[in-house]
Amino acid sequence: MPDKPVKILNIEQIKKLLAQIDRNVAKGAMYYVVLVFLLDTGLRISELINIKLADMDLMQGFVQVMGKGQKVRTVPFSKLTRKELLHYVNSFRSQLCPADSPYLFATSKGPNISVNSVQQFLRRLAKKTGLNGIRVSPHSFRHTFATMAVAGGANVFTLKDIMGHRSLQTTMGYIKQQPEEIQLQHAAFSPVAKLFGSKSNK
Examine the residue annotation and report whether 4 is marked as an active-site residue of this protein. Answer: no
Beta pairing partners, 65: 73
Examine the residue annotation and report whether 44 is marked as an active-site residue of this protein. Answer: yes
Q: Kindly indicate the confidence band of residue 99, based on its pLDDT and cuts at 50, 70 and 90.
A: confident
The class of domain 11-181 in CATH terms is: mainly alpha
Query: The pTM is what?
Result: 0.81
| Residue 188 vs residues 175, 183, 185, 192, 200: alpha-carbon distances, Å | 20, 9, 5, 11, 16
Domain ranges of the chain: 11-181
Examine the residue annotation and report whether 139 is marked as an active-site residue of this protein. Answer: yes
Helices and strands (H, E) in the chain, number of each type: 11, 3
Q: Cα(first)–Cα(last) distance of the chain, in Å?
A: 49
Cβ(90)–Cβ(80) under 8 Å? no
96 has pLDDT over 70? yes
Alpha helices in 42-167 (DSSP H): 45-49, 79-91, 93-96, 115-129, 138-151, 156-163
Give 63-92 pLDDT, tens digit per residue.
999 888 788 899 999 999 999 999 999 999
Q: Considering 44, 93, 143, 160, which one is annotated as catalytic?
A: 44
